[in-house]
Structure 1
Amino acid sequence: MHTKTKKRRSRCLFLLFSHTPTTEQIEDARLSLGVESIVAMPQEIKNIWQQFPPDVLAIEPMLKPVKKWLSQKSNKGDFALIQGDFGATFLMVLYAKDIGLVPIYATTERKATEIMQSDGTLTIEHIFKHRRFREYGK
């Protein structure tokens, strides 16, 4: 009996973070993670993810549309780059693991320059350079 094997599509990287990925991050995702497709949040999901009201006691109900989007669009084994509000990140990392995704975050090298202004104020400039992706919990 001939059994047809289901061809698995290439792995995707779903972005749950507020900024646009850098060229270095995109290249690293393709090389180190083997992803061919990078999927950004639709605008309505991005609007939720970018600003959780600080006065709200529980944000989990607000994450329902984010979870729905992720579960409908992703497949087991896909990656989810999750960074943002600490509570939302924690909840979405747990959820991603529950549905079989690999939750990751980006690590950076940070350089800071401090400049004392003539009026006595201090200006600090931060430069972030992508280094690698790391899986949550490892």
Structure 2
Amino acid sequence: MVPPMMMPRVPLILGLAGLLPFVWGALTVLSPDLAAWTVRSIGARFAGPYVMLFYGAVILSFMSGVLWGFATQLKGAQAGTGYALSVIPALWAFFMTGGGPTGAGVSLMVGFIGILGLDWLFWKHGAAPEWWMSLRLLLTAIVVTCLAIGVFA
């Protein structure tokens, strides 16, 4: 795997920037004062687990699109399997994030951990860039940590 300092700069910066709603949500869970300020200033949906849950569902759906793009690099039956696998994260987000913040948070954690398996399959078959798994492991560790704060703190 490629160390984070060897990844292309733009994907790394954009990937880290994409963590902001997760990190903000976790911080507002850990800091009642920050949560209160957020609710007053920009609204309740941007505080606590709510921002992480909504954004997490969006990002799982986004990842389906990324995987669909990787499937275009495959041929024949592998491509068909790749396309089929690529829709799983979006369907997971759609069907598994109801039922309250705790269940939705756990489902998102499972979804983000599960997508690593799909990332690895596409990477192993040469459809994802060489640095892909290093980036995905870093981002997923932070996302799952933030979601765990939302669920268990």
Task: Classify the TM-score, shorter chain.
Answer: under 0.3
Structure showing greater relative contact order (alpha-carbon pairs closer than 8 Å, 6 or more residues apart): 2
Given the two structures, how large is their TM-score scaled by the length of structure 1?
A: 0.28
Relative to total residues, which structure has the larger strand share, 1 or 2? 1
For the pair shown, the structure with the greater C-alpha radius of gyration is: 1
Q: TM-score, normalised by structure 2?
A: 0.26
Larger helix proportion of the pair: 2
